[in-house]
Structure 1
Amino acid sequence: MPTEKEQTIEELQQGLPITIVADGQFSDSLKPLLAQLEMWINFQALKADWYGNEDLILSFDFTLVRSLEEKIQQITEVSVESWVVESGYAYHYESSCLTTIAFIAVDDLVQGGVGIEQAIKARLTAVANAIALKHGLLALE
């Protein structure tokens, strides 16, 4: 019979709780970076013991977008009240299913030109930590 930790690892392999994709405006050449970021943030969550309680597995669906303006227009058509919009990212947390949908903007990072990957990581963790804080989980580094 598998241990609790082995079961958790098996469940993670079936589908990672934190996913990162890019919207249709990006080329497929971004896929290796997206996979790397996805593995990185899921590993950070594992290190912070976010998966220790099976009843509290937070899931995040991140989408990289060029700019938030277009997405904010779509969001406000639905319901702006349930979305948190910050500089560089916007997210909606659905507490009933522990799921967060988030958009991470990259155009402003590309214009800066340096440290793009680190800046994306900072935005990913900012969203994840905002939700984790609500549940008393350790912050990601």
Structure 2
Amino acid sequence: MLEDIEGLTVEQLQQSLPITIGADPRFSKSLKPLLRQLEMWINFQALKADWYGDDNFILSFDFTLVRSLEEKQLTADSWVVETGYAYHYESSNLTTIAFIAIDDLVRDGAGIEQEIKARLTAVANTIAVQHGLLALE
């Protein structure tokens, strides 16, 4: 996998990462640096846990920060909904789409970044453990 990333620009590298993090379009664009930092952090955690050891088996995650899960009107039969996050895992292509809610974190005020990280890893670890991968720290 490392051979595949040589010569890529930072933008191309971010687009090719297995774990991406974005935000609902209604959020300020000033969140972009935080989103990139979180994205690099979680991909590095996955690299350390050897999630990318087999090029034929790489889980991908598409995380989106949203204000609340209620606004997404998720159908319970295809989504797993927990406090603060919801996700849908598609086993046929090893892809997970997830929403991370932040309204409650903003209200509480402290440790927002750590709580977002906890929600990201909770989703990622739930899927990874199903496949015998090490949990992220």
TM-score normalised to structure 2 length: 0.91
Contiguous gaps of at least 5 residues in structure 2: none
Q: CA separation in 2, counterparts of 1:42 and 1:58?
A: 11
The match for 1:104 is 100
The one-letter code of the counterpart of 2:3 is: Q
Q: CA separation in 1, counterparts of 2:97 and 2:135?
A: 18
Quote how far apart the aligned CAs of 1:27 are.
Answer: 0.4
The match for 1:26 is 27
Q: CA separation in 2, counterparts of 1:140 and 1:9?
A: 22
Q: CA separation in 2, counterparts of 1:137 and 1:112?
A: 33
| Identical amino acids, percent of aligned pairs | 77
Contiguous gaps of at least 5 residues in structure 1: none
Q: Deviations over 1:16-49 (max 9, x none)?
A: 0000000012000000000000000000000000
Quote how far apart the aligned CAs of 1:9 are.
Answer: 4.7
Distance change in 2, residues 1:137/1:83 (3 Å): same
Alignment of 1:64-83 (within 5 A): 64-71=65-72, 73=73, 75-76=74-75, 80-83=76-79
Q: CA separation in 1, counterparts of 2:81 and 2:99?
A: 9
Q: Secondary structure at the match of 1:101?
A: strand
Is the 1:22–1:65 contact (alpha carbons within 8 Å) kept by the matching residues of 2? Answer: yes
Q: Secondary structure at the match of 1:21?
A: strand
Point out 4+ residue stretches in structure 1 off by more than 2 angstroms: 5-14
The match for 1:35 is 36
Is the 1:8–1:51 contact (alpha carbons within 8 Å) kept by the matching residues of 2? Answer: no
Q: Secondary structure at the match of 2:77?
A: helix
Q: CA separation in 1, counterparts of 2:2 and 2:21?
A: 24
Quote how far apart the aligned CAs of 1:83 are.
Answer: 0.8
Q: CA separation in 1, counterparts of 2:3 and 2:82?
A: 36
Q: Secondary structure at the match of 1:82?
A: coil
Write 1 or 2 for the structure with the bigger share of helix. Answer: 1
The one-letter code of the counterpart of 2:81 is: V
The one-letter code of the counterpart of 2:40 is: M
The farther-off stretch of 45-54 and 8-17 is 8-17
1:130 aligns with 2:126: yes
Q: CA separation in 2, counterparts of 1:109 and 1:137?
A: 29
Is the 1:25–1:66 contact (alpha carbons within 8 Å) kept by the matching residues of 2? Answer: no
Q: Secondary structure at the match of 1:120?
A: helix
